[in-house]
Structure 1
Amino acid sequence: MSTMRAVVLTGPGECVVQEVPRPVAAPGEAVVDVERAGVCGTDAELFNGHMAYLHTGHTTYPLRPGHEWCGVVSAVGDGVEPGWVGMRVMGDTMIGDGVCRRCRRGTQHLCERRSEVGIRGGRPGALAEQIAVPVSSLHALPDSVDDVLGALVEPGGNALRAARAAGVGDGDRLLVFGPGTIGLLVAMFARAAGAEVHLMGRTEESLAFARDLGFAHVWPDGAVPDLPFDAVVDAATAAQLPAYAADVVEPGGRIVYIGLSATPSMVDTRTLVFKDVTAVGILSASPGLAATIDAYASGAVDPRPLVGVTVALDQVGAVLAGSHPSGPAPKVHVDPRLL
């Protein structure tokens, strides 16, 4: 067949599954048969029209979303070792131009001219039967990392970087805002490092789910106890929380910002200065992908309980619109092979 099924966002609030041409591997690229893909908050923002890139011109409708994925390489282009064919892989979201100063310094995820799979620059995403990406963006998956874990590597890479930036370990206390997918993954990585993890959330359902994952220190928004927190990770979307993080972190502590609010958030830098606080922003999973695969493969972190339901491509629109039930687990996965 010369066509395949893919999710296409045709405008704000408009999601359809269309027959589109199957990808062909360009030089340096591989075609991957997608076996599992995650639906992310970024996909929802693209669906509802709130995503910043839609307003800056970095992306436009129609677009094909999906950037958390894994699959099997089925074809390669010129200049690619044929041994890639048949390998189980996942792929980096950020595709730099490879020639700019940032790319040459190993930070291709910050390339000014980067494309982002399923998000930016017109590069089609993985909510489809197949995807074509540069081989340089691929990471091989060991047998111990199944399809569910494989599609959780990309969000896990973001979370691992946030947990490492928090710098917590044995004897340290971490507070995480937002018990969604990223916040819970941060909590899992920090717990694996030996930290005492506290989570703050807004809904009882999300807090109860966090407790079910073994996190005993779970607090409603505004009810966090007066404890010394050595680090705070803001994985939420509320505009007031970045400033609150600066208020509650211990002097000499660390704040990690990975969540994004829809409106600008204000932080009084005097608080950071007087408390001698280090503040870090995390944009991308790219530098953390290999270590995340290792953590999953070893069993040090097992985020599979975060996946509440797996659906077919035809159900993605309902998921993005918030009308498909998924239970208390925050992550929805898609299997393009389901009908």
Structure 2
Amino acid sequence: MRAFVLTGPGTYEVQELPDPAAAPGEVVVDIERVGVCGTDMEFFTGEMAYLHQGHASFPMRLGHEWSGRVRTVGAGVGQEWLGRRVTGDTMIGCGECRRCLRGRGHVCETRREVGVRDGQPGALAEQLAVPAFSLYPLPDSVDATLGALVEPGGNALRAARAATPDGNERVLVLGPGTIGLLVAMFARARGAEVHLMGKTQASLDFAAVLGFDQLWLEDSLPNLPFDAVVDASNAPHLPGLALELVEPGGRAVCIGLAGEPSRIDTRTLALKDVTAVGLLSASPALDATIRAYADGSVDPRPLVAATVSLERTGSVLAGQRPSGAGAGPKIHVDPRLVGN
């Protein structure tokens, strides 16, 4: 099979590798779509923390936002999976520790992460072997593009739930990238009044295309009481701004990751009686994300600006926009394409 292999910071190859075999408890999936995300770009630059913590090393195969169709199954896996359209959980817990047994496998100390951590190959290839227990079937109404948006959508849905427990809150989302826009979509679907703050007018103009009209640059934010503020950016100063802007008794939700430490004043946190929430992983919300896509209450397909081949993936990771790409923030890869 063909696979995109990151051989070092900024270096890569499309290699011919042996087709994966389904070990006991595993399936092999023919990959149809893969999303490129900020984590992948950090691996490309060599800045991703896991590289420096011993959880990842080169060469590696990226790709943790994916969809495809089950090709083969290993021993102990039901034949009903054959031919099914699926996506999968990124987080592969050990299944035996206290966290896994309490349903928190996404924070298992010894977890593997597909395309991210501890040598678990990712989906930037024609085929992918994964544990059957990590699979989520996709209904016919969730196409390949939507299927590859389930993982980022699950992260965003968790943030929207944390920000809007009642569904009628006024929410400010900081950072209208893929995750921020998905948070805004899920919060809107829950009945919230959604505001978005962006760094550039172009990002806000795209948000307007998605139907959002409360759009602000940092220097133009209105003086409004925000019941929740979600930081979906990579700006170190914005968690502190979120705490300043949120109403007393409100919620500050952190789903973005900066390249350096962010600092907040815990006196403000306590004196404003604010609930602060940090979120890692889509795992607890994958089912609900698929349902939302299936019933049309959230449709993130406009976020995808272009779909490219494995051969074009390196330039995307280097920050180049594909020729003819739309205005959306997300780029997808279709491993079945050649040279596009």
1:84 counterpart = 2:50: no
Distance change (3 Å), C-alpha of 1:169 and 1:218: farther
Question: Does residue 183 of structure 1 match 2:180?
Answer: yes
8 Å CA contact retained: 2:10, 2:45: yes
Tell me, yes or no, if structure 1 residue 285 matches structure 2 residue 282. yes
Q: State the distance in 2 between where 1:332 and 1:255 align.
A: 29
TM-superposed CA distance for 1:327, in Å, is 3.5
In the TM superposition, what are the counterparts of 1:142-291 in structure 2 within 5 Å?
A: 142-291=139-288
Secondary structure of the structure 1 residue equivalent to 2:118:
coil
Runs of at least 5 residues in structure 2 that lack an aligned partner in the other structure = none
Name 2:298's counterpart in structure 1.
301
Q: Identity percentage over the alignment?
A: 67
Distance in 1 (alpha carbons) for counterparts of 2:183 and 2:249 = 21
Aligned counterpart, 2:2:
5
Q: What's the Cα RMSD here?
A: 0.9
Offset of residue 222 of structure 1: 2.9
**Shift in Å, 1:169:** 4.7
Report the alpha carbon displacement of residue 257 of structure 1 after superposing the two structures with TM. 0.3
- Is the 8 Å Cα contact of residues 32 and 74 (structure 1) preserved in structure 2? yes
Post-superposition offset of 1:139: 0.2
Call closer, same or farther: CA 1:170–1:58 in 2, change over 3 Å: closer
Separation of aligned partners in 1, 2:195 and 2:11: 38
Between the aligned partners of 2:308 and 2:64, the Cα distance in structure 1 is 16
User: Is this contact kept in 1: 2:167–2:187, CA < 8 A?
Assistant: no
2:90 to 93, 111, 117: 93
3-state SS in 1 of match to 2:55: coil
CA offset digits 1:234-273 (Å, max 9, x no partner): 0000000001100000000001100000000001111110
1:338 aligns with 2:308: no
In 2: Cα distance, 1:273 partner to 1:75 partner? 54
Letter of the 1:329 counterpart: G
| 2:221 counterpart SS class | coil
The offset of 1:15, in angstroms, is: 2.0
Q: Distance in 2 between matches of 1:57 and 1:328?
A: 36
Following superposition, the deviation at residue 172 of structure 1 comes to: 1.6
Aligned to 1:21, the other structure's residue is in SS state coil
Q: Once the two structures are superposed, what CA deviation does each residue of 1:89-147 show, in whole Å capped at 9, x if it has no partner? A: 00000000111111111110000000000000101000110000000000000001011
Shift of 1:170: 4.8
Mean CA deviation greater in 321-330 or 236-245? 321-330
Q: Following TM superposition, by how much is the alpha carbon of 1:63 offset from its aligned partner in structure 2, in angstroms?
A: 0.4
Does the 8 A contact of 1:67 with 1:93 survive in 2? yes
Distance 2:36 2:5 in 1: 13
Q: Is the 8 A contact 1:202 1:220 kept in 2?
A: yes
Offset, 1:192 = 0.5
- What TM-score do you get using the length of structure 1 for normalisation? 0.98
Deviation at 1:21, TM superposition (A): 1.4
